């Protein structure tokens, strides 16, 4: 037989459930009694992504110097201009003391060899991609070799397909401006980076975004609103 405490607890629980049901009934009746009340389902439409977000460039996933030979089998195009330094290369040696410039935006190169060399002051060996340009041979670091461990950055550095094919939905006028390394009003950030290389965003108002582009020694400042360039001016 249940104790008095158990019976009392059950009575209290029943009372709470009864009150909750009554309150719910009152709320429902009031809603039905309100004339002209219409419940409308609100659909939140997500902000559409740029078409560029759907482009998936090919990756080689290089893991060794042997597999790096894949880089020599087709041209490559530079993803971010004015970011990667190149060095003169001769007699299987890179002259790290005398940089020869930087890879340009969307520069097309044909890598002819991949090797690793020791670099003064560095514990790891530099993995280099070797290519010819204007009758001279250059090297650009694409990874590090430390003992049996090799790390490659080629997938982050290069397109393995012609960017004009990857982004064939851009207009001919846009590609012409990119070829002139010129940012024009209406360009998005992808297009501006293709034209003048890597940019450095500035903190500021969320309604507008300002990006500084070193642009190989010819700095510029571009303001974007709703993802499009609206102001372009020289930097300092």
The distance from CA 168 to its chain's CA centroid, rounded to whole angstroms, is 19
Residue ranges of E strands in the chain: 76-78, 87-90, 93-94, 108-109, 111-117, 125-133, 136-146, 149-152, 158-159, 200-202, 208-213, 220-225, 228-234
Q: What residue has token string 């401006």?
A: 177
The distance from CA 65 to its chain's CA centroid, rounded to whole angstroms, is 26
Range with lowest mean pLDDT among 8-12, 20-24, 94-98, 196-200: 8-12
Mean pLDDT of 82-88: 97
Segment 122-156, tens digit of pLDDT: 889 999 999 999 999 999 999 999 988 999 999 99
C-alpha–C-alpha distance, residues 235 and 227, integer Å: 20
pTM of the model as a whole: 0.77
Closest among 128, 112, 117, 127 to 76, alpha carbons compared: 112
Tell me the CATH number for domain 170-234: 3.30.1450
C-alpha–C-alpha distance, residues 44 and 46, integer Å: 6
C-alpha–C-alpha distance, residues 99 and 85, integer Å: 7
Type and span of the H or E element at 30: helix 4-33
Asked if the model's pLDDT at residue 39 lies above 50, the reply is no
For the chain, where do the domains classified as CATH 3.30.1450 start and end?
A: 170-234
Mean pLDDT of 156-172: 97
The model's confidence at residue 236, banded by pLDDT at 50, 70 and 90, is: confident
Tell me the torsion sign for CA atoms 97, 106, 207, 55: negative
C-alpha–C-alpha distance, residues 188 and 170, integer Å: 11
């Amino acid at each position: 037989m249940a104790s008095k405490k158990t019976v009392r607890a059950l009575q209290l629980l029943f009372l709470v459930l009864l009150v909750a049901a009554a309150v719910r009934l009152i709320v429902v009746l009031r809603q039905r009694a309100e004339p002209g009340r219409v419940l409308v389902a609100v659909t939140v439409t997500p902000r559409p992504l740029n078409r560029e977000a759907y482009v998936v460039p090919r990756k080689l996933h290089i893991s060794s110097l042997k597999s790096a030979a894949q880089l020599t089998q087709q041209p490559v195009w530079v993803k971010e201009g004015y970011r990667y330094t190149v060095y003169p290369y001769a007699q299987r040696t890179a002259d790290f003391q005398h940089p020869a410039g930087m890879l340009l935006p969307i520069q097309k190169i044909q890598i002819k060899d991949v090797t690793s060399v020791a670099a003064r002051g560095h514990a790891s060996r530099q993995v280099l991609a070797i290519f010819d340009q204007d009758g001279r041979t250059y090297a650009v670091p694409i990874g590090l070799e430390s003992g049996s461990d090799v790390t490659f950055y080629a997938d982050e550095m290069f397109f393995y397909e012609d960017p004009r094919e990857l982004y064939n939905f851009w207009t001919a006028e846009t590609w012409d401006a990119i070829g002139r390394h010129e940012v024009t009003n209406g360009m998005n950030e992808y297009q501006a980076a293709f034209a003048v290389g890597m940019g450095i965003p500035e903190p500021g108002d969320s309604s507008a975004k300002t990006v500084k582009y070193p642009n190989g020694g010819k700095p510029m400042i571009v303001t974007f609103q709703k993802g499009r360039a609206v102001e372009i001016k020289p930097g300092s």
